[in-house]
Amino acid sequence: MQVIPAIDIRGGRCVRLEQGDYSRETVFGEDPLAVARRWREAGASCIHVVDLDGAREGRPRNAEVIRRLLVAMSTPVQVGGGIRDMATIKSYLDAGAARVVLGTAAVTDQTTLISALALFRDRIAVGVDAREGIVVTEGWLETSGLTAAELLRQLSELGVRRIIYTDIRRDGMLTEPNFAAIGELLEQASGLPAPVSVIASGGISSIQHLRRLAELGVEAAIVGKALYTGAMDLREALAAVSP
């Protein structure tokens, strides 16, 4: 199982939010590129970068910062936040992103999702962000009315091969992942006509959590606040769950 450090960018800085609340922000670095290099040097095989301003406003707001990071990094980087059209998808992939993550667009504009899958299938992931089982969009500010399970089935039918599942209530809280919800999604995903890989995010704060996620069968785990606060050491985490 991969352990993927997260870099959330707001106003050009590396921050973490609690439960997706923009008023509950902690700044962990002025230079996201320096943070990315730190995780690369610790052994990360992939880095997860999110434009938080973009997620809320519906268009890239930290694109230049992200592009500089993509150009400078040899480690694969997946990018999300404010990616709502083909031009933005292509611009990030052309800049060197290994993968782009669609969130709101995968719910509200599936024409764009279908087009992206047709051109870049293996380089497209979908963020399934849920609060109490219901998918939210627009930087976690709007409720869709879809359950995570319903969206997963839709995405599989469209040809999505990978989702990133985040339980917003756990995100940034250093509690624990929603193992029950993740387990249910994994069971559903494995039974679909076209199986979907699941990356887990939200609430991961110990190596024991990583081991349990690996046992459940997730493809990867995205870790944020635990790394920044020192609750988890990336090198130790990688060693604990590496094949």
Q: How is residue 193 annotated by DSSP?
A: S
From the candidates 51, 129, 167, 171, which is the catalytic residue?
Answer: 129
The rounded distance, in Å, linking the Cα atoms of 96 and 220 is 21
Catalytic residue check, 31: no
Among candidate residues 133, 79, 89, the one with its CA nearest the CA of residue 109: 89
d(CA 103, CA 146) in angstroms, rounded, equals 13
Yes or no: say if 36 and 79 are a contact pair by the CB < 8 Å rule: no
Q: Which two tokens stand for residue 62?
A: 């930290």
Catalytic-residue membership of 85? no
Contact assessment for residue 241 and residue 1, using Cβ atoms and an 8 Å cutoff: yes
| Three-state SS annotation for 93-119 | HHHCCCEEEECHHHHHCHHHHHHHHHH
| Catalytic residue ranges | 8, 129
